[in-house]
Structure 1
Amino acid sequence: MTISTISQPPRLIVICGATATGKSGLAIQLAERLGSVILSADSRLVYREFDIGTAKPTREERQRVPHYLIDICEPTETLTVADYQDQAQHLIAKAPESPPLLLVGGTGLYLKSIVRGMKIPRVAPQLELRSQLEALGQFQCYQILQQIDPMAAQKIHANDQVRTLRALEVYYITGRPISEQKGENPPDYPIFQIGLQCESDALNSRIQRRTEEMIEKGFVQEVEQLCQKYGSELSLLETLGYQEIKQYLAGDISLETAKELTVLHTRQFAKRQRTWFRAISEIQWFDAESPNLLDEVFYFINSRKSH
């Protein structure tokens, strides 16, 4: 294990990794030992009422350790990465310098927005403008992007409609190319980044077990209530787990098939997360299956502080 030399104690400890690797469990134990609080970095935990299917920390867990950036948004609202960054940075700025804060989750962009200090254009989604641009077709939109922001066009694939529309949207609202408004301004405080990983078979078993537990805790009833309250077209109900259970409730597939699809799609999602986090050299990796995980992480933190 390579230990970098940092003379200052961390202001922020990141705990990241793929879904179902046990980030929340470790974070709660570590927070209790350090006397810390937890800042969530999960793009679905910000929404109220989406609890079981997102593996949101329970009321009891949140009583053990204070959690922030959970249940801060209505399901009908949209919390952008810029919104998240504003709220997280505000919490970090007003918190005491000691003990460190724990930033915990698997949403790569949320974590990057804080750790790297991403400069994000403050432009809310413009639905009317987007619909007008979509009507032009992706081919013509991309041609426009090449003219107004060639630097952005070089980084965006010609078939990537989402990023093309976002770049055009930012340009038409601000009058400046999105490429000029991006960049990074990393914070000046020390950050330790801890990643949890485990072998594919072990992770698959964890995902299978967690999916079964969600069903036992009333996941089907949660989705049913959300559909009744907000309508089945709610965008959050198209996300992992909720979409599959919604198909079951519609009578399109059996519950067993819904569980199998949830496991499959969660495994695919975890693979994408691993790819994202593996590209970050600053992360120190730990075996999520280790029986001494808490002690190993605690030792690592103290070792780096003492150098």
Structure 2
Amino acid sequence: MHIQRPIAPAKTPTQATEPRNKIIWKQAISFKTARGNIVLSSSVPILLVICGATATGKTGLAIKLAKRLEAATGRQSLILSADSRQVYREFTIGTAKPSSFELAEVPHALVDICDPRRVLTVAEYQAQARELIGTCHRDGVMPLLVGGTGLYIRSVIRGMKIPPVAPQYGLRSQLESLGQAQCHAILSQVDPEAAGRIHPNDPVRTLRALEVFYVTGKPITAQQGEDPPDYKVINIGLASDRQGDRIFRRAEQMMEQGFVTEVKELVDRYGDDLPLLNTLGYAEVRQYLRGEIGLPEATRLTALHTRQFAKRQRNWFRSDDSIEWFDSDDLELVDRVWDRLAGVI
């Protein structure tokens, strides 16, 4: 299987031969660890998900597990990013994309796949992710879906049917001018089922439902549903009591790594009204570049807003009963997760 690293060159995993794949895929493999013998069985295709809020060490854990799997069985892995900003090219430091070292350790996909001037829809992401997962399973490679964008992950592991409609900013602006009450009333006429599901004070979902209706001519409820995948999903979640400290340190590191220069170059190249420049970190640095705040304040606000965002992420993931939670501050985290995977992967 040929896997392209989108940021930094590194060794590409060679396609495993058929006999080797058959051994790994259809037979149990026993090996010793510090905690005793472990048997890996791959009779059913597996997708390993590592999810959680920002700054909880998801990528680091994924890399360690992938390297341990290869050392134990010879089987290679592919990390599929589940981050709604890492998909965009040139937005690097502020989105905490994998470093060149991390990319050299284990191949990554679904990073740097979209021009920042267009919008990658959830449907497009889902299609690419599921195609890559299928290729991994055919070629004997272990896919790891890793990230903090809950909707991306849910779309893949539940097989959500999603209308392939990109955001229509002009239409949204017109609808917003009507007010939420009027928009929800319109939705009640064109899609009563959606209106019944969506709270009258939820403008985000109301606008999305209307947007899909006006673009496709069909109610959003008629285009939704689920098509569950034919592989087993192991859903690992990471949480940290030190997340606030991690987030502030990451904000400091971003500034040290040249984040201000990155933002300035993006503004010069694409203009100040590019939607991605209004997202976490980028918006605060733009305030600094306009002379509205100092750099320490931009750093503080970036950390503050990221903590607020992380809280929303935690709430999203905690509503999912399929997630098995681990403490990312646990010194034995890798061993504990590895033991959980014993007999499954």
TM-score by length of 1: 0.91
Counterpart in the other structure of 1:63: 104
CA distance in 2, matches of 1:15, 1:50: 23
2:119 touches 2:167 (CA, 8 Å); kept in 1? no
1:11 touches 1:99 (CA, 8 Å); kept in 2? no
Counterpart in the other structure of 2:126: 85
Query: Residue 157 of structure 2 aligns to which amino acid in structure 1?
Result: V
1:270-285 mapped onto 2 (5 Å cutoff) = 270-285=310-325
Is the deviation greater in 94-103 or in 126-135? Answer: 126-135
Counterpart in the other structure of 2:85: 44
1:142 touches 1:158 (CA, 8 Å); kept in 2? yes
How many angstroms does 1:129 deviate by? 4.1
Counterpart in the other structure of 2:330: 290
Query: Residue 32 of structure 1 aligns to which amino acid in structure 2?
Result: K
Identity %: 60
CA distance in 2, matches of 1:287, 1:111: 20
1:171 equivalent to 2:213? Answer: yes
CA distance in 2, matches of 1:254, 1:150: 49
CA distance in 2, matches of 1:267, 1:125: 26
1:14 equivalent to 2:49? Answer: yes
Gaps of 5+ in 1: 1-5
How many angstroms does 1:63 deviate by? 1.8
CA distance in 2, matches of 1:252, 1:138: 32
Counterpart in the other structure of 1:3: none
Counterpart in the other structure of 2:227: 185
CA distance in 1, matches of 2:182, 2:295: 43
Q: 1:186 to 1:303 in 2, by over 3 A?
A: same
Counterpart in the other structure of 1:151: 193
How many angstroms does 1:56 deviate by? 0.4
Aligned residues between the structures: 298
2:121 touches 2:165 (CA, 8 Å); kept in 1? no
Q: 1:124 aligns with which of 166, 170, 177?
A: 166
Is the deviation greater in 92-101 or in 186-195? Answer: 92-101
Q: 1:124 to 1:211 in 2, by over 3 A?
A: closer
Gaps of 5+ in 2: 1-40, 70-75
- Which of the pair has the greater relative contact order for Cα pairs under 8 Å at 6+ separation? 1
CA distance in 2, matches of 1:10, 1:194: 17
CA distance in 1, matches of 2:85, 2:58: 15
Counterpart in the other structure of 1:257: 297
Task: Give me the CA root mean square deviation.
Answer: 1.8
Q: 1:92 to 1:151 in 2, by over 3 A?
A: same
